[in-house]
Structure 1
Amino acid sequence: MLTKRNLLRSATMIVAGAAIARPSLSMAQNYPGIIEARDIAQEGFIYGLPLVMNYAIMYEYAVDRNSGQFKAPFNQIKNEPNVYTYKDTAIVTPNSDTPYSFVWLDLRAEPVVLSVPAIDPKRYYSVMLCDGNTYNFGYIGTRATGSDAGDYMVVGPDWKGDTPAGIKQVFRSSTQFSLAGYRTQLFGPDDLDNVKEVQAGYKAQMLSAYLKQTPPPAAPTIDFPKIDKELVKTNFFDYLDFALQFGPAQGNEKEIRAKLARIGIGPGKSFDFKDLPLEHKLEIGLGMKAGQRKVDEAVATAGKAINGWRISGLPGDSAHYNGDWLKRAVAAQAGIYGNDPEEATYPYTRVDNKGQTLDGSKHNYTITFPAGQLPPVNSFWSVTMYDGKSQLLIKNPIDRYLINSPMLPGMKKNEDGSLTLYIQKDSPGADKEANWLPAPDDTIYLVMRLYWPKTEAPSILPAGEGTWQPPAVVAQ
């Protein structure tokens, strides 16, 4: 099964036992020198990492019915009846605040119409549209479009049809496959039936069905290549090659795609990457490793360090990245399918107030919000615990993966009105257990989520420059 950072780590390995292929005349004439090829591989790995990560998740969720993570076929909604737990492993740093719903969209034959019901304005929800380039190309939901019912159309990169009456807004994906990720707020365990009722009102239908017309011819059947952590070791650029065919090159992609074509990847290539001689594959492997190191370093220093937390506005649309492939790779590795900062901002940390690595096997920790200084949001906030190595939720004795603002009525405040969270592997005692966030017996990765952060002071926005700052994690 493909999980967590195994994909990222194993993607930097190239098989050393490949057969030595005889270069064709075309390859000999067009192939760059080994050093240049290594540099292209480094740049290409950074450019391609989000695309390959996205493909791996799409394969598990919408293609491979035996993956253990399969949700539903393309263009069908899968409503998750519960929040995510340690058993959910396909996506790193998943939230456990909002039951998810998913629709993987195949936009090749015709657009898809997404319909949402009227939802109580007090209940936050969002539908994030994220394409195969990992661009957030649109939002439906409480912040973006309000709480009224509505029909919205998602179209592929080449769609040229008319907008039917009744469609509130059209969203254009830059790729032929994309994801609609729904987040529906859960106020507590006893609220689950209400969330399920909301989810039952989410609908996805092909445009022809929406218009009650005869559908166009079906798109060709695709033989999706199997992907897992072992296959990525040898086939990273093969997967990138496959993914590129479903997204026409945007203006800022032409240069990197031309470089990739020179080493046999993507449209316009004059030979297949798999035909490269062994020495070239090994040099490209070194380039990939260098690319992964660069991404790792950039993740560790992304945004601005405030009280040990990193705060950055990483995710966004195509214009937001503007051809900064490293920024896009960092956003994917730090937490693929993250929201735009205006929708949700995510301070994260691996260190305490003294810069020491958070480790539940060595220390207990606290986070104290001073009186009147809880995270400023229009919706809700949370602090979620992850395993420091895998970035997945951790199994724990009380099945608690986060502390969030809906839990505040049951929590205990200090005499001065401040709120202390206890971050540790063992219970802090019955009197403090309401404020306990269980930690692993190992390294810790903490993510704070501010859903629909306030824009007026105090605010975390602009990300890293706002007037509100998260309090430090303090070792006890």
Structure 2
Amino acid sequence: MNLIKNSIVKRLAMIGSILLILLIIVLISSANLRNKLGCLLLISGVNQASCVVNLPLPMDDDVAEAEALALGYEAYTTGVVYARSQILMEKDTHPEAPLNAPINEFNIYPNLATPDSAIDFTPNNDTVYGLAWLDLSQGPIIIDVPEIPNRYMVIQATDWALNTFAYIGTRVHSKPGRYAYVPKGWHGEIPNVIETFEAPTNGVFLQARIVVTPETPEDIQPVVAMLKRLTLTPLNKNAIYAKTKKGTPVPNPKLNNPIWQSLDFYTLLNRAWTFGGVRDTDKEVVKQFSRLGIGPNLTFDPEKLTAAQRRGLEKAAKMAFQRVPMHGMERGKGLNSWRFTTLLGSYGSDRLLASTVAMMGYGANKAEEALYLPAFLDNENQPLISGRKYKIHFSANNFPPVNYFWSITLYSRPENQLKANPINRYAIGDRTPSLVKNADGSIDIFVQEQPLSKEQKGNWLPSGEPGQFWMILRMYGPKESVLAGNYIPPEITRVR
């Protein structure tokens, strides 16, 4: 009898062990059951246990709005540089835009920039532009560069976030011939190429600039002819690139477009990240916006968001639109009336600075190519206003130390465009033919709305119609003393 009982107990123990093993297998294979077991153990007092409890309650409206505001603001300050690239490209490649060219072709401007030019960023008045928007999604684009004798020339390549990744030109001693821009990670061979440049994003912006003699109209057309000899050719002969149909509205990239302060901004941002790509440095930041439908290859649909989330995103766009340009007045260090920084043209993780440049100017060179010193205030720390008179006095031993040339260009605020004036002079510098030196070798530049005497007219930079303005001191090929921050330009003195 005892033997039978022992046998039954052993069999029951064996069955129990088998069932326990099966239970463990089920628990291991089922995340849901594991979570429930963890909750039971936690309730039973096992402190090492853990579980996740899904709360069925909706997010409070105030919290949802605040979260959307925070994410939307960061998406804007990170992404407006991409959005500006996108809308500028969409306008410049539109067949009905005033000056246009298809993707992967140069658009050669017929003259120096003027207030009436179709340039939607802050242009210089020293060089003629040739602009091109590249799409590397289907393979490399080859550029053939002719010989440009006895003139300063540069072809700058920037990614979709305005980081400069390649130069061809005078400073880097480029030879005439064939070069290539290739997408990130591309491996292949291109015959007869002098140099290959790997782009961080599929979207690329090219700016070709060739200097002209100021106020010399006959010098323009030879430069235009040189620029027209630049050619771009896709390596992939079978590639088909998107084209805008005639009859569709021409986009307005200027800051007076309501898109910059509305929910429509996030739709534009998605297009920018989808077409042009996101550089590696920004990818982790961009991922966090996907919960709101913002990101590459996503469709931003406000109707899928709550009213609170929509309010938060709209507030974010309005706030960031005000904040980003303000950074232009605080970046760098003050040198008399001018702001000094060598960080333009390559921004690393300084997304706010990249976006500021995108909204205020777009496409700045790296410091070693051309240094930009903006000025918004006079020597009394007051805004520059056209109805007032100013003088900039360069002593004979304090001209900007440059390898090529320097100039001061005047722009309207907040439009950031050249200002119309009766003598059509938008910049003045060391190459201005009419510039007159004082007896001691110094130079006085007069900035004001009213005309000057005949003796001083050659040194007059007109401030144009009433309103605020700002200026940029450009130094092409700045010398080491400038890059080190040792050059102090003269202040902008208000004349009473």
Task: Report the TM-score, using the length of structure 2 for normalisation.
Answer: 0.80
Residue 332 (str. 1) matches residue 362 (str. 2): no
SS at match of 2:354: helix
1:29-44, aligned counterparts within 5 Å?
Answer: 33-44=64-75
- Greater relative contact order (Cα < 8 A, sep 6+): 1
Residue 348 (str. 1) matches residue 378 (str. 2): no
Residue 186 (str. 1) matches residue 222 (str. 2): no
Which stretch has the larger CA shift, 227-236 or 342-351? 227-236
**Shift of residue 270 of structure 1?**
9.1
Give 2:340's aligned residue.
311
Match of 1:173 among 199, 202, 205: 199
**Aligned-partner Cα distance in 2 for 1:217–1:379:** 40
Deviation beyond 6 Å, 4+ runs, structure 1: 220-226
CA gap of 1:265–1:332, structure 2 versus 1, over 3 A, is same
Q: Does the 8 Å CA contact 1:108/1:219 hold for their aligned counterparts?
A: no
Give 1:65's aligned residue.
95
**Aligned-partner Cα distance in 1 for 2:331–2:130:** 29
**Aligned-partner Cα distance in 2 for 1:271–1:95:** 36
**Aligned-partner Cα distance in 1 for 2:251–2:329:** 27
Q: Does the 8 Å CA contact 1:350/1:388 hold for their aligned counterparts?
A: no
**Aligned-partner Cα distance in 2 for 1:255–1:410:** 54
Q: Deviations over 1:24-81 (max 9, x none)?
A: xxxx79x98332221111111101111111112111111x22233x321112222212
Q: Does the 8 Å CA contact 1:400/1:437 hold for their aligned counterparts?
A: yes
CA gap of 1:274–1:140, structure 2 versus 1, over 3 A, is farther
Residue 136 (str. 1) matches residue 158 (str. 2): no
Structure 1: state its 5+ residue gaps.
Answer: 1-27, 209-214
- Look up the equivalent residue of 2:491 and give its one-letter code: A
Q: Does the 8 Å CA contact 1:314/1:328 hold for their aligned counterparts?
A: no
**Superposition CA RMSD, Å:** 2.5
1:48-447, aligned counterparts within 5 Å?
Answer: 48-62=79-93, 64-68=94-98, 70-120=99-149, 122-146=150-174, 148-162=175-189, 164-188=190-214, 189=216, 190-207=218-235, 215-219=237-241, 227-228=251-252, 229-232=257-260, 233-267=262-296, 272-317=301-346, 321-361=347-387, 363-407=388-432, 409-440=433-464, 441-447=466-472
CA gap of 1:105–1:39, structure 2 versus 1, over 3 A, is same
Pair member with larger Rg = 2
Q: Does the 8 Å CA contact 1:385/1:445 hold for their aligned counterparts?
A: yes
Which stretch has the larger CA shift, 321-330 or 301-310? 321-330
**Shift of residue 219 of structure 1?**
4.8
Q: Does the 8 Å CA contact 1:344/1:451 hold for their aligned counterparts?
A: yes
SS at match of 1:240: helix
**Aligned-partner Cα distance in 1 for 2:263–2:68:** 17
Give 1:19's aligned residue.
none
- Look up the equivalent residue of 1:460 and give its one-letter code: V
Q: Deviations over 1:260-314 (max 9, x none)?
A: 1011111476974453233211111222233234323322101111111111123
- Give me the identity figure in percent: 29
Give 1:474's aligned residue.
493
Give 1:4's aligned residue.
none
Q: Deviations over 1:320-379 (max 9, x none)?
A: x22221121122233210111111001111111111111111x11110100132111111
SS at match of 1:410: coil
Q: Deviations over 1:76-128 (max 9, x none)?
A: 222212100001254232111100011221222231111112222x4111001
Q: Does the 8 Å CA contact 1:299/1:333 hold for their aligned counterparts?
A: no
Q: Does the 8 Å CA contact 2:112/2:126 hold for their aligned counterparts?
A: yes
**Aligned-partner Cα distance in 2 for 1:272–1:442:** 40
Match of 1:46 among 65, 77, 84: 77
Q: Does the 8 Å CA contact 1:89/1:392 hold for their aligned counterparts?
A: no
- Look up the equivalent residue of 2:349 and give its one-letter code: G
Q: Does the 8 Å CA contact 2:86/2:276 hold for their aligned counterparts?
A: no
How many equivalent pairs are there? 427
Q: Does the 8 Å CA contact 2:265/2:317 hold for their aligned counterparts?
A: no
CA gap of 1:219–1:405, structure 2 versus 1, over 3 A, is same
CA gap of 1:367–1:173, structure 2 versus 1, over 3 A, is same
**Aligned-partner Cα distance in 2 for 1:398–1:249:** 44
**Aligned-partner Cα distance in 2 for 1:109–1:132:** 16
- Look up the equivalent residue of 1:400 and give its one-letter code: R
